[in-house]
Amino acid sequence: MKIAYISDVIYPYVKGGAERRIYEMGRRLAADDEIHVFGIKWWTGNSDTELNGIHVHGICKPLALYAGHRRSLKEALLFASSLGPVLKYDFDIIDCNQFPYLHCFPARLISQLKHIPLVITWHECWGHYWYEYLGSLGFVGKLVEKATLKMADRIVAVSENTKDSIKRFRTDVSLVPNGVDISYINSVAPAKLSVDALFVGRLIPEKHVDVLIRAMPAGTTLSVIGDGPERERLVELSRKLDKNVQFTDALAYSELIGIMKAANSLVLPSSREGFGIVALEALACGTPVITSNAKKNAAAALISQGKNGFVVSLSPDQIRLGLLEINKEEMKQAARTSAAQFDWNLLSARLRAVYQSLV
């Protein structure tokens, strides 16, 4: 098969769960299929390049992903208006990353003109959250989300939580979760220095890193790895509260995994996670996870209470209690076992079967 992925963000130039999924799935599918990714040109040099067997196409100039605390509308419009190069190829499947929605509309047109099935990989169903995100214009977001859901020939949900949220719009949804590279993670040595708690991700309000900083017990250490619009405020908060917090920009993956292996816990205090791939990576490292019981946090489904981590309410007191109760040595094996079923090698075969059913 010839498969086209359409995503404004491309790994490893932008490091997040959605783009990591395309990279990991794509490089495995490339053993038997021809894989192309069309996205924003985040790199220097030629617009067309190859990455581990994946043909990568930079179709427009880079713009900031965020305008303040929200995804940039200008960036989304630029990307959506730049999909003309996809028409030059004859693909068997087009798979669109859900966010930031607008590009899915020209992708639908291309799929109809070329008579190609359109798949949209769905990470989160926002629903009423649009009003929190856009205020009085939230109804526009809800209409766009609903229209995007209905235009695909098949929706692929990355979690049971997301699949259940979509059911009120359509029932023909395939579940293919995100995964981890178990073999690679096993090959990485732990870092020499450990921290009591680790956070990895974009520093945006819905991650609630401020709650984690407030939760840290006296004398404990926290490492925050990532960047985003909340960073300056979080640095100032940690200084004000006199917390031992180290802020680090995104790292090479091998270094990140080494730090995960050495950490006593990973904390993901999000109110929204379409899957929570960073939690799965930590579990594969043998590191227990503390996450929130928020309704839209799909990462909670990865946790067996008291075995490989804790699911707690989104408050400093409850997160602090989880940090004090974590026993990594006792939880290490359960954490690794719970991650084994999410190996990318198994999941890429499941995704390929979905594609084949549509061709």
E strands present in the chain: 2-6, 34-40, 48-51, 54-60, 66-67, 70-71, 93-97, 118-122, 154-157, 173-175, 197-200, 221-225, 244-248, 266-268, 272-273, 289-292, 296-297, 309-312
The per-residue pLDDT for range 160-215, each reduced to its tens digit, is 989 999 988 898 999 999 999 999 999 999 999 999 999 999 999 999 999 999 99
What are phi and psi for residue 24, nearest 5 degrees? -70, -45
Report how many helices (DSSP H) and strands (DSSP E) the chain contains, helices first: 14, 18
Pairing of strands 266-268, 296-297: unpaired
Residue 69 pLDDT more than 80?
no
C-beta separation of 196 from 220 below 8 A: yes
* Helix, strand, coil percent content, the chain, rounded in steps of 5: 45, 20, 35
pLDDT of residue 70: 85
Residues 208 and 68 in one domain: no
pLDDT of residue 289: 98
Distance CA 100, CA 134 (A): 14
Residue 110 pLDDT more than 90?
yes
Pairing of strands 221-225, 197-200: parallel
In angstroms, the Cα distances linking 349 to 25, 92, 227, 356 are 9, 17, 33, 11
Residue 35 pLDDT more than 90?
yes
Radius of gyration of the chain (CA): 20
Residues 207 and 173 in one domain: no
Residues 158 and 245 in one domain: no
Which residue, chain included where needed, has tokens 């990591």?
20
Residues 111 and 40 in one domain: yes
Residues 6+ apart with CB under 8 A from 40: 8, 9, 10, 58, 59, 60, 61, 62, 63, 75, 79
Pairing of strands 118-122, 154-157: parallel
- pLDDT band (50, 70, 90) for residue 68: confident
Amino acid at 73: L
Residues 169 and 33 in one domain: yes
Of 179, 76, 189, 69, give the one whose Cα is nearest residue 132: 69
Distance CA 332, CA 20 (A): 25
Residues 6+ apart with CB under 8 A from 213: 222, 234, 237, 238, 241, 243, 245
Residues 7 and 143 in one domain: yes
pLDDT of residue 76: 96
Residues 196 and 130 in one domain: no
Residues 305 and 323 in one domain: yes
- The C-alpha angle 356, 162, 250, rounded to 5 degrees, equals 90
Where residue 136 sits, what CATH number does that domain have? 3.40.50.2000
C-beta separation of 199 from 230 below 8 A: no
Residues 249 and 156 in one domain: no
Residues 221 and 311 in one domain: yes
pTM for this model (two decimals): 0.84
pLDDT of residue 132: 87
User: How many domains are contained in the chain?
Assistant: 2
Which residues constitute the domain of residue 243? 182-341
Which carries the bigger pLDDT value, residue 285 or residue 129? Answer: 285
Residues 6+ apart with CB under 8 A from 333: 286
Pairing of strands 48-51, 54-60: antiparallel
What are phi and psi for residue 121, nearest 5 degrees? -85, 120
Residues 167 and 241 in one domain: no
The per-residue pLDDT for range 253-299, each reduced to its tens digit, is 999 999 999 999 999 999 989 899 999 999 999 999 999 999 889 99
Residues 308 and 277 in one domain: yes
